[in-house]
């Protein structure tokens, strides 16, 4: 994709919301990806809250949320009309020719392993409904 047709996400504040599961299981990888995004866009805010426990009044500003977690993508995308949701790998596809990651295959493997199983939001919903009974 040429530079003129890339999505201009840098026009809004950018948040990297890797997801609480990755923050807990792969903190060094999250740091590596945060640094990558910082190299691409400059100021990036690391968003560390869990999508299952986040307060819907938290985000009044128009912003971009870049995430690796499908649960975060869905929850934030469905909850906040003012957020422009982007999957990290879609961003990477647009920029990998300019700034490739080292050991991309190993990184995919590590992240896929960390994200196996129930996502936090699903587990929290189940826990919450059991608690209410």
- C-alpha dihedral, 88 to 96 to 28 to 41, nearest 10°: -70
Whether residue 84 lies inside any domain: the answer is yes
What span, in angstroms and rounded, lies between the C-alpha atoms of 18 and 41?
A: 16
Average pLDDT over residues 66-91: 90
The better pLDDT of the pair 75, 2 is held by: 75
Q: Which helix (H) or strand (E) holds 85?
A: strand 83-87
The better pLDDT of the pair 117, 1 is held by: 117
Among 1-15, 57-71, 105-119, name the one with the lowest average pLDDT.
Answer: 1-15
- Domains in the chain, number: 1
Whether residue 127 lies inside any domain: the answer is yes
Q: In what order do the strands lie in the sheet with 14-17?
A: 45-46, 14-17, 63-67, 83-87
Range of the domain at 31: 14-132
Angle between helices 120-132 and 70-79 (to 10 degrees): 70
Whether residue 1 lies inside any domain: the answer is no
Whether residue 2 lies inside any domain: the answer is no
pLDDT digits (tens, 9 = 90+) for 9-57: 778 899 999 988 888 888 899 999 999 999 999 999 999 888 887 765 5
Whether residue 69 lies inside any domain: the answer is yes
């Amino acid at each position: 994709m040429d530079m003129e047709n890339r999505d201009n996400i840098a026009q809004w504040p950018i948040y990297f919301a890797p997801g609480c599961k990755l923050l807990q299981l792969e903190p060094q990888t999250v740091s590596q990806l945060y640094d990558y995004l910082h190299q691409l866009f400059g100021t990036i805010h690391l968003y560390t809250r869990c999508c299952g426990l986040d307060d819907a009044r938290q985000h009044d500003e128009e912003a971009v949320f870049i995430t690796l977690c499908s649960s975060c993508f869905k929850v934030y995308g469905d909850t906040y009309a003012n957020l422009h949701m982007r999957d990290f790998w879609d961003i990477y596809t647009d920029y990998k020719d300019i700034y490739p990651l080292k050991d991309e295959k190993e990184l995919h493997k590590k992240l896929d392993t960390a994200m196996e199983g129930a996502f936090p939001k699903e587990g929290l919903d189940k826990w919450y409904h059991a608690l209410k009974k």
